């Protein structure tokens, strides 16, 4: 039951923060942010907010600074909207999904290229020994045995 409550609270916090960011903060450093996930601890005291930012590494760093500066205001907004006794503290963590996806795509592309090169080598390959390397039993003629 606690896991279900954690999930519901995390989903609600994700929606509230996303709506607040959609309305806009007055911080010019804030870039195009997407809240991907919120995980709440078992005691409902801490929420880890995972986000992605579209843009350059500099824009990502600026957005991280803007979110860190706005943490208190976002926590108070979340506290006003939630019906819980204690408002969980917020921690903003950059989500590594885009970087992981790019890395996996790169590895798959590299594997495809290696497979193609191996297939090219195999197409022109010939056997190192006889064409039929299997030993065949000798055939005796009836005249030799008699």
| Residue 134 forms part of a structural domain | no
Is residue 143 over pLDDT 60? no
Does residue 47 sit in helix, strand or coil? strand
pLDDT at 91: 92
| Residue 141 forms part of a structural domain | no
| Residue 139 forms part of a structural domain | no
| Residue 43 forms part of a structural domain | yes
Its domain, for residue 46, covers 2-96
Q: What is the pLDDT of residues 102-111, one digit of tens each?
A: 889 999 999 9
What percentage of the chain carries pLDDT values higher than 70?
Answer: 92
Which of the two residues, 3 and 131, has the higher pLDDT score? 3
Q: What is the pLDDT of residues 19-64, one digit of tens each?
A: 888 887 777 788 788 888 999 998 889 999 999 888 888 888 888 8
| Residue 109 forms part of a structural domain | no
pLDDT at 141: 62
| Residue 135 forms part of a structural domain | no
Q: What is the pLDDT of residues 61-117, one digit of tens each?
A: 888 898 898 889 889 988 888 888 888 999 999 888 777 888 899 999 999 999 998
| Residue 19 forms part of a structural domain | yes
Radius of gyration of the chain (CA): 31
Q: Is the dihedral of CA 54, 56, 59, 64 positive or negative?
A: positive
Give the model's confidence band at 140: pLDDT under 50 very low, under 70 low, under 90 confident, else very high. Answer: low
Q: At 66, which CATH number? A: 3.30.300.20
> In this structure, are residues 13 and 77 in contact, taking their beta carbons and an 8 Å threshold?
no
As separate numbers, helices (DSSP H) first and strands (DSSP E) second, the chain gives 5, 3
What's the number of domains the chain is made of?
1
């Amino acid at each position: 039951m606690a896991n279900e409550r954690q999930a519901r609270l995390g989903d609600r916090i994700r929606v509230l923060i996303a709506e607040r960011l959609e309305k806009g903060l007055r911080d010019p450093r804030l870039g195009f942010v997407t809240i991907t996930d919120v995980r709440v601890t078992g005691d409902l005291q801490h929420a880890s907010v995972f986000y992605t930012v579209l843009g350059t590494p500099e824009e990502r760093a600026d957005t991280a600074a803007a979110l860190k500066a706005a943490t208190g205001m976002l926590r108070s907004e979340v506290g006003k909207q939630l019906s819980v006794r204690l408002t969980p503290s917020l921690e903003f963590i950059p989500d590594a999904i885009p970087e992981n996806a790019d890395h996996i795509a790169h590895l798959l592309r590299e594997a495809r290229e290696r497979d193609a090169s191996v297939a090219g080598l195999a197409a022109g390959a010939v056997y190192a020994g006889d064409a039929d390397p299997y030993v065949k039993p000798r055939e005796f003629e009836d005249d030799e045995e008699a």
